[in-house]
Amino acid sequence: MIGGVVLLLVVAAIAGGIVAVVRRASHAEHPAGSPEGHVVRQLFQYLLLLVLLIVSAVGAAGLLGALLTRGTTFAASDTAIARSVAFTLVGLPLLFGLGWMTRRLHAQDPAEGRSIPWVAYLSFASLISLTVALNALQATVAGVLGLRRLDRMDVASALVWCGAWALHWWLCRRQADQGPLQPLQLAGSLLGLTFGLVGLGTVLSGTLERWFGLAGGSVLVGHDDVTLSGAVTFVLAGAVWVRYWLFAALRSTRGVLWHLYVLLLGVAAGLIVTLTAASIAAARLLVWLVGDPWTSDAHRYFGPMPATLAAATVGLLTLAYHQAVLRSVGHEERTEIERLRDYLLSAVGLGAVCAGSTIIVVALVEAAVDPSLVGGGDATNILIVAITLLVVGGPVWQLFWRRGQRAAAAGPEELGSLTRRLYLFLLLGLTSVATVGALLAGAWVLVDRILQDQSTAASIRSIRYPIGILATAAAVAAYHWAVYGADRGRRAKVPHRPPSFVLLLGVADAATALAVGRRLGATVWAWTRYDVPPEAWPEDQLVAAVQACGAPETVVLADTGGLHAVPVSRHAWNASEIHAVSTTPSPVSGAAPPAM
C-alpha cells in the first residue's frame, strides 16, 4: 500500500516536471532567427503526445479488459495486469498534462494549430486509433452475433480505441484548414476501401460456393462463421470508407496526391486484381475443359474458384468506380493525369502480354527440340495459361495504348509530354536489361551444357527460358524504339512558333529592348540585375539568341559563355500563384519597359 502511494507520488512528480518544462518552453520568447528550435520543440512535443496516447490507451484497454474478464476462464494474467497498471498510471497523467499544455499553446498561438507536426500528430493518432478500433470492433460485433467466441478483451479494446478515435475526429473537425489533413483522409479511405473489399470478397466467395455447390457436405461441428464475419467487416469498413472518402477526400482538392490515390490505388490496383483473378479463373476453367487437370474431383479442382471470381468482381468494382470518379473531373483537354492513367494501365496489359508470349516461345522451343512433348498434358496446360494471358492482357494494352497513340497523332502536346517519354524510356530500359540478362544467362547455361557433352537438343532445351525472354524483350524493344523514333520525327516537324514574350534579364537597356520588341513583334520586358554591372548587348545578338531558342516565351540572360536564352512558360501556375504575381508590372508590347 505504502509502496503504491510512493509510486504514485513519483509518477506525479515526473509528470509535473515534464509539464513544467513544456510550459516554460511554451512561455519562453522564441528568439528571432531560430525557427528550427521551434520546430524541434513541436516535433518532440507531438511525438511524445502520440506515444503517451498509445501507451495510455493500451493500458486503459488492458485494465478494462481485466475488469470485464474477472472471474471467467479468460482472465488476464498477472503480467498483463501489471503492464496495464504501469501504462495507465504513468501514461494517463502525462497525457492529460501534455494535452492540457498543448491546448493552452494552441489558444495562445493560432499558428501552432496549423503547424505540420500537429497535423502529423492528428493524422497518425487518428489512423492508429481507427485501425485498432476497427479490428477490435469487428471482433466484438462478430462475437456478439455468435459468429466467433466473444473475447471481452476485444470489447474493452473497442471501447477505449473508439473513444480515442472519436476525440481525434473531433479535433480534426475543429481544424480551420482541412487541406493539410488530406493525407489522413486518403489513408482512411484506403483503409476502409481495402478492408471493405476484403469483407465483400469474403461474403461473395461464400455465396458463390453455395451457388456452385462447392460448400461441402453436412456440417458436423461449427458454423459458417467466416462468411458472415466478412459481412460484418464489409459494413464496418464500408462506414469508414464513407466517412473518409465520400464525406472528406472526394470533396477535397484534387491535386497530385488525390490523383495518385485514385489512379494507383483505385484504377491500377483494381485492374491488376481483376486481370490476375480473371486470368487464373479462365486458365483453370480451360485446363478443366481442354487441358489436363491435376485431379478429376471437380469439388477439389474448383474449390478455389469462388474466391478467385470474388476477387475479380471486387477488383472490377474498384476499377469501375475510380474510373467514374476520374471521368467526373471532366477536363476538355487531355491532362497529364489522364496520360499517367493510360500509360500505367497500358503497362499492366503489356506485362500480361509479355508473360504470355514468353511462355509461348518457350513452348515452341520445347516442341521444336522434342516433338514428343506436343500434345502432352503439361504442354497443353502451359499453352492454355499463355493464351489466357494474351487474351486478357492484349485488349487492355490495346485499349489504353491506342489512346496515347491517337493523342500523339493529333497534336504535339502528347509527343512532348513527360509521361509518354518516361513510359517509352522505362520500357526501353527494362527491355534492355532483360535482353542483356537473358543473353548472359543463355550463354552461361549453353556453354555449361556443351562442356558437359550434352546433345544439341538438350542444350537448346536448357536455354528455352532465356530464348523466350530474349524474343519477347526484343520484340517489345523494337516496337517501342520505332514509336520513339516516330515521336522524335514528328516533334522535329512541329513548326516553331514565333516568340510572343521575351524577358531580357540584365542584357539590354530601354532603347535596345524597344528595338528587339519591334523586330520580333513580341512583348519584351527588360529587367535590371543587381548582381552584375548593367550591360546592353547588341540588338542583333539578342534577336539571334531568341530566334535560336525557338520558344514562344523566352528569358535571355548573360553568363560566362555569352548570351543564354531559356525557353519558359508563364502558364504553368495554379490560380493562387497567378493571383500572387499579378502585381508585377504590366508588359509593354513593343515598347520600352522600365528603364535600366
Partner 1 sequence: MLAVAVAVIAVAALVTLVLTWRHPVHVTPGTPEAAVQKYIDAVLDHDSEAAVRMLAPDSPCDVEDVDRAYVGDDLQVSLRDVVVLATTARVEVVITSGSGGLIPDQSTERQTFRLVRNGGQWRITGAPWPLFECGDLK
Distances (CA, A) of 91 to 22, 167, 206, 580, 593: 16, 17, 44, 47, 66
CB of 591 to partner 1, least distance (A): 58
> Is 343 in contact with 419 (CB distance < 8 Å)?
yes
**For residue 234, what is its C-alpha cell?**
464489409
Residue 475 CA to chain centroid, in angstroms?
30
Between 238 and 437, name the residue whose CB sits nearer to partner 1. 238
The helix/strand/coil state of 236 is: helix
CB of 212 to partner 1, least distance (A): 11
Specify the residue, 70 or 149, whose C-beta has the smaller distance to partner 1.
149
Find the shortest distance in angstroms from Cβ 398 to partner 1.
Answer: 25
**Residue (231 or 265) nearer to partner 1, CB:** 231
The angle formed by the CA atoms of residues 183, 140 and 55, to the nearest 5 degrees, is 55
**b (16+ CB within 10 A) / e for 403-436:** bbbebbeeeeebbebebbeebbeebbebbeebbe
Kindly state the smallest distance separating residue 266's Cβ from partner 1, in Å.
12
Pick 87 or 165: Cβ nearer partner 1: 165
CB of 229 to partner 1, least distance (A): 3
SS3 per residue for 513-537: HHHHHHHHCCEEEEECCCCCCCCCC
User: CB-wise, 229 or 419, nearer to partner 1?
Assistant: 229
Q: Shortest approach of partner 1 to residue 399 CB, angstroms?
A: 20
Q: How far is the CB of 207 from partner 1 (least distance, A)?
A: 4
The answer to whether 196 and 233 are in contact (CB under 8 A) is yes
Return d(Cα 51, Cα 128) in angstroms, integer. 11
Residue 336: partners with Cβ closer than 8 Å, 6 or more residues away? 417, 418, 419
Kindly list the residues in this chain that would bind partner 1 in the complex (CB under 8 A). 134-135, 138-139, 142, 147-149, 195, 198, 200, 202-204, 206-207, 210-211, 215-234, 237, 313, 317, 320-321, 324
Beta carbon nearer to partner 1, 126 or 229: 229
- Cell 493529333 found at: 410
Q: Nearest approach, Cβ of 151 to partner 1 (angstroms)?
A: 9
Query: Which residue, 249 or 469, is less far from partner 1 as judged by CB?
Result: 249
For residues 111 and 521, what is the distance between their CA atoms, to the nearest angstrom? 49
Determine the Cα–Cα distance for residues 62 and 431; give it in Å rounded to an integer: 55
Closer of 210 and 331 to partner 1 (Cβ): 210
The answer to whether 187 and 123 are in contact (CB under 8 A) is: yes
Give min distance, CB of 196 to partner 1, in A: 9
Minimal distance in Å, beta carbon 86 to partner 1?
28
Cβ proximity to partner 1: between 148 and 259 the closer is 148
Q: Residue 346 Cβ, how far from partner 1 at the closest point, in Å?
A: 24
Q: What is the DSSP letter of 75?
A: P
**Residue 233 or 279: which CB sits closer to partner 1?**
233
Which C-beta is closer to partner 1: that of 212 or that of 288?
Answer: 212
- The answer to whether residues 129 and 136 touch, using CB atoms and an 8 Å cutoff, is no
Burial of 513 (0-12, 13-18, 19+ CB in 10 A): buried
For residue 407, give Cα distances in angstroms to 333, 395, 400, 417, 572: 10, 18, 11, 11, 21
Residue 241: closest CA among 123, 130, 125: 130
